[in-house]
Amino acid sequence: MLDISNMNSYHYDMKTRVSERGQVTIPKKIRKRLGIRPGQVLEVDEERGRVVMSKIVQEDVFERLTGILKLDKTTDELIDEMRGPAELP
């Protein structure tokens, strides 16, 4: 017989209580496993009678902007143009 009690990486015995203000504490093991840190934004939804939280991954602005400028010069040429040619010792 297949024992499915240990197949899920989460423990079924982890419990939390809802406070009067509707707040819950996510167990430390789950926060650590999912990389949830203080200030992390979570999306909360309901699916088939269950509360589902998903980590919102913040977009990296630099990643989004990388490569958007199309220039006819190399980076070194642009730096030389702005600063002047590099002086060698």
* pLDDT score for 38: 92
pTM of the model: 0.50
In angstroms, rounded to a whole number, what is the distance separating the alpha carbons of residues 26 and 24?
6
Query: Would you list the domain boundaries of the chain?
Result: 28-83
Reduced DSSP (H G I as helix, E B as strand, rest coil) percent helix, strand, coil of the chain, to 5: 25, 15, 65
Helix extents (H) in the chain: 28-34, 61-65, 75-83
* pLDDT score for 21: 96
* pLDDT score for 4: 47
In angstroms, rounded to a whole number, what is the distance separating the alpha carbons of residues 48 and 21?
24
In angstroms, rounded to a whole number, what is the distance separating the alpha carbons of residues 56 and 42?
6
Backbone phi, then psi, for 79, in 5-degree steps?
-65, -45
Q: pLDDT by residue for the chain (89 residues), tens digit each?
A: 544 445 455 556 788 999 999 999 999 999 999 989 998 999 999 999 999 999 887 777 777 777 777 888 888 888 888 888 777 77
